[in-house]
């Protein structure tokens, strides 16, 4: 299995994991996971919002071989938090999250490997400042997978603390 296929497969694991949240108590769903932190619903909306950005903004940029652009994180994350608090039901948000991720994975799988690996800028920057690795779509997908896993870990810990694991 190529490294790109493995990264996309790991990225897709999130949509399967979402099923574990379907029977979660609705009160806990909207309770912050810790003081000053988001609720599970806000975290799921946050990840979904970024998936939508990858679909609508980043993948078209990669196809056109132009730099990837990402919005202001704080503003974009606030939009996701507000959406989670808007009254959207748990089942609807989980379905939206799963459907969006599955569509994103489908789009990623349809891209040629050369497009996944082509060096592109992210907000005008050519290399990750932490690893000095050139930015590419597959590098971004790996970063997003790590980001998903960070939030999954927070949710799993929260469920354990509430005896729901």
Whole-model pTM over 0.85: yes
What is the helix (H) or strand (E) element at residue 149, kind and residue range?
helix 137-161
User: In whole angstroms, what is the distance from residue 30 CA to residue 41 CA?
Assistant: 6
Query: Which residues constitute the domain of residue 92?
Result: 3-161
Q: How far is CA 25 from CA 2, 30, 82, 88, 153, in A?
A: 39, 9, 20, 15, 18
Contact present, 128 and 135 (Cβ < 8 Å):
yes
Structure confidence by residue, pLDDT tens digits, 20-46: 999 998 889 999 999 999 999 999 999
CATH of the domain at 84: 1.20.120.450
Query: Domain count of the chain?
Result: 1
pLDDT at 165: 56
């Amino acid at each position: 299995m190529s490294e790109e296929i493995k990264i996309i497969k790991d990225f897709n694991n999130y949509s399967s994991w979402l099923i574990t949240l379907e029977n979660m108590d609705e009160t806990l769903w909207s309770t912050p996971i810790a003081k000053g932190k988001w609720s599970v619903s806000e975290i799921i909306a946050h990840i979904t919002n970024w998936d939508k950005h990858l679909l609508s903004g980043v993948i078209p940029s990669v196809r056109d071989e132009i730099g990837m652009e990402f919005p202001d994180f704080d503003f974009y994350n606030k939009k996701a938090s507000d959406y989670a608090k808007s009254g959207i039901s748990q089942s609807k948000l989980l379905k939206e999250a799963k459907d969006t991720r599955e569509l994103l994975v489908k789009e990623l799988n349809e891209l040629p490997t050369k497009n996944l690996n082509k060096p592109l800028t992210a907000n005008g920057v050519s290399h990750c400042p932490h690893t000095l690795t050139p930015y590419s779509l597959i590098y971004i997908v790996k970063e997003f997978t790590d980001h998903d896993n960070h939030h999954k870990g927070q949710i799993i810990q929260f469920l354990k603390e509430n005896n729901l694991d």
